[in-house]
A = this chain, B = another copy of it.
């Protein structure tokens, strides 16, 4: 029916995602986004009529969808806890490029005043991830309360290790987090 896209949607979102993750929402200028995507500003507005906000929205939505399919859902499966965590760790390592790429949940977080444009999506993502980890901990024998505490710690360690890896310019903190994830979440289980 028409002329084909020079960059398909998936590639486009991925390239835009890099810019937002590297520079944040304010730092991601249309010039940068256009350069990274290989499209002109006008073409970006053809693909995202609502502009920069829509680009960030869709980038965030794609990241959350990836997380759902590659982290949340697998964690809710009925494989052995340690096995699930090992698989998730491997996928997280790819998603965050070994700690070299930041997390959108951090970089798009609202400035102090609560209701930023991404707040509710970010809040929901944190809760979903915590709940998924908690389920694994519970599966391993912890009671509801202890499992939730373990899960929150795991999410804190994930984001803390990303911040630290970026700050130190080293992938080691993130790699350590991945290596210890299973132990942090499961060690000392009742069963």
Using a CB–CB distance below 8 Å, which chain A residues touch chain B?
Answer: 22-27, 100-103, 105-106, 109-114, 119, 122-123, 125-127, 149, 152-153, 155-161, 163-164, 166-169, 173, 176-177
Residues of B within 8 A of A122 (CB): 167
Please tell me if the beta carbons of A109 and B176 are within 8 angstroms of each other in the complex. no
Please tell me if the beta carbons of B176 and A152 are within 8 angstroms of each other in the complex. yes
Residues of B within 8 A of A177 (CB): 156
Which residue from B100, B101, B112 sits with its C-beta under 8 Å from A100?
B112
25 CB contacts below 8 A, A to B, read A22-B112, A22-B113, A24-B26, A24-B27, A24-B111, A26-B26, A26-B27, A27-B111, A122-B167, A123-B168, A125-B167, A126-B164, A126-B168, A127-B168, A149-B176, A152-B176, A155-B164, A156-B157, A156-B163, A156-B164, A156-B177, A157-B157, A158-B160, A159-B159, A159-B160
